[in-house]
A and B are shown apart, each in its own frame.
Chain A
Amino acid sequence: MRKSLLDHLLDWAGRIVLIAILAFVLLPFVVVAIASFNDGAILSFPPREWSWRWYANAFQYRDFGAGLTNSLKIAVFGATIALIAGAGFAYVLDRYEFRFKNTLNGILMSPLIIPNFTIGLGLLILSAAASLPRNLWLVVATHVVIVMPFVVRSVYVSLQNFERRFEQAAESLGGSPWHVLRTITLPLLAPGLASGGLFAAILSFNEFTASLFVVNQSTQTLPVAMYNYVREYADPTLAAVSVIYVLAVAVILLIVHKFFRLEKVLNVE
């Protein structure tokens, strides 16, 4: 069938709209990359002189290093705890009926609709009321609450697509529940667990609002350190940090995309 003039026009209009939208998505990252090489402390476009000095400054600024260490610790502990608790819950959610199942599910999923500033405030007040110290574990607990719904969802989807026959075969051959879990269920669930855990770690690493409520000077995360920097200094050091941040995330996503396919992880296939 030959394309009419209208079809050609539609094709071209579609392309232009798509390119414009993608340009809007990419614009801030391109601009921040240009700004990061601006030699002067005051921004100008285009930069009059170029330099790497803000990158050097970013690596020398103590709070970023300390924030990165905290963020990595929190992401690892938070994602691990959320993965263990979330995978366990997804399993019982998929397989069993028990009392208060819906209540439990509702409470655990509620952080999806409760704003992060409310979660942060709630845990801050709770820790003050219970006289708990405002240490790194409080931040870890906050992150577990926030990322757990995503882990539960990811593992639950894997369990829904799970072939029960392999487990049934192992059971009928006399395998104990523990043996079946260890040799059949867990290996088959590994991709779902891995993507759920990774997703949780990335979300935790990026979390800012709730963290701002529960951190103190010694437990501040990288996003909080970055926020505090903007409030105090106007130079482009943060632009350099942003560029490194974007590149690191893009590389991680490319690797994830290669192994898991993002379409599947995000269920948009």
Chain B
Amino acid sequence: MTKRPFLGWFASPSILIAFGIAASFLAIVQYSFRANIPGALDPGGFTLENFTTLWKAIYGDAFLNTVLLCLWTAVFTLLIGYPLAYAMVRARSVRLRSAILLISLTPLFLGEIVRTYSWMIVLGNRGFLNAALMQMGLIDRPIPFMFTMTGVVIALVHFTLPIVVVMLAAGLSHIDRNLERAATSLGAGRVRVFLTVTLPLSIPGIVAATSTAFAWTFSAFATPQMIGGGQVQTISTLVYQVGFASFNFPLAASLSLTGLLFTVAVLAIFNTGIRRLERIGGH
């Protein structure tokens, strides 16, 4: 009998899939260094032109927009997600906890299209929000939410919220409640216990949630595409446009590759942060 039964059988399918992933990554790298031949599917010879093209203003703007969207979305998602995660983990009644859990997590399983379309109906000039504000007499002209950064951020916060709540709740549920009880028994009020015990202990969860929020916002496509309507270009919408409107796949590949390197760099910084925090928290 072998010491490791099934190793070959169990590992082979995943090895095959790993080769597929590696090959498609190499395909992007390879295309990003090839010249584009308009009208032809196959790319031309070796060139660095794709990367020099990326220095043009529209690509720089898309990078800037993407970074700003990631930043604002992370800030607002954390502000809204933290109380929600806190209530979910700490609610005393099982029913309330289940209700919060189902309401806040169902959107996670709804996909980007349904959610973005729903926000288009809320945010449009004839949409729910403007109609409500006008009927209340607060405004006399619709506020433009569609095709603006504000509108995209609102929808992106809603899109990112469930996964951030999951990460924050996981962090909060692992906090030792005895530490809070100790602080209370020593005379600290609720606000002080939260600020000096609970909040610091949940920082690793906050950092993890922020990095996930960043990755989600960065890869969001339908939201900036549909709510931004071409006025708010991000890396994702530009990759699609360059690929499917201009059929310049080498340029789309180099844009994707640059975006990916940027994501990996940002996530690496977050990871270092998490490791440092764990070292402080663990000992």
Binding site for B on A (CB under 8 A): 6-7, 10, 14, 17-18, 21-22, 24-29, 31-32, 34-35, 42-45, 81, 84-86, 88-89, 91-92, 95-96, 98, 104, 107-108, 110-119, 121-123, 125-126, 128-129, 141, 144-145, 148, 177-178, 181, 202, 205-209, 212-213, 223, 226-227, 230, 238-239, 242, 245-246, 249-250, 252-254, 257, 262-263, 266-269
Contact = CB atoms under 8 A, between A and B. Distances in A.
Contact of A28 (B16, B80, B122): B122
Across the A-B interface, give the 10 residue pairs with the lowest CB-CB distance, nearest first. Answer: A206-B111, A115-B219, A122-B24, A28-B118, A88-B10, A177-B5, A85-B13, A45-B131, A89-B14, A268-B169
A177 B121 CA distance: 58
Interface string B108-143: 011111110111111010111001100000000000
Given A92-B10, A128-B41, 18 more contacts: A22-B104, A31-B128, A104-B11, A114-B25, A117-B221, A118-B239, A122-B25, A125-B27, A126-B20, A144-B17, A202-B109, A206-B109, A206-B110, A209-B219, A239-B117, A262-B105, A266-B105, A268-B170
Nearest to A239: B121
A31 B118 contact: yes
B13 A84 contact: yes
Given A268-B88, A268-B173, A115 B263 contact: yes
A126 B118 contact: no
Interface of B: 1, 4-7, 9-18, 20-25, 27-28, 31, 41, 80, 83-84, 87-89, 98, 100-107, 109-115, 117-122, 124, 126-128, 131-132, 158, 161, 166, 169-170, 173, 189-191, 215, 218-219, 221-222, 226, 236, 239-240, 243, 249, 252-253, 256, 259-260, 263-264, 267
Contacts of A202: 109
B121 A28 contact: yes
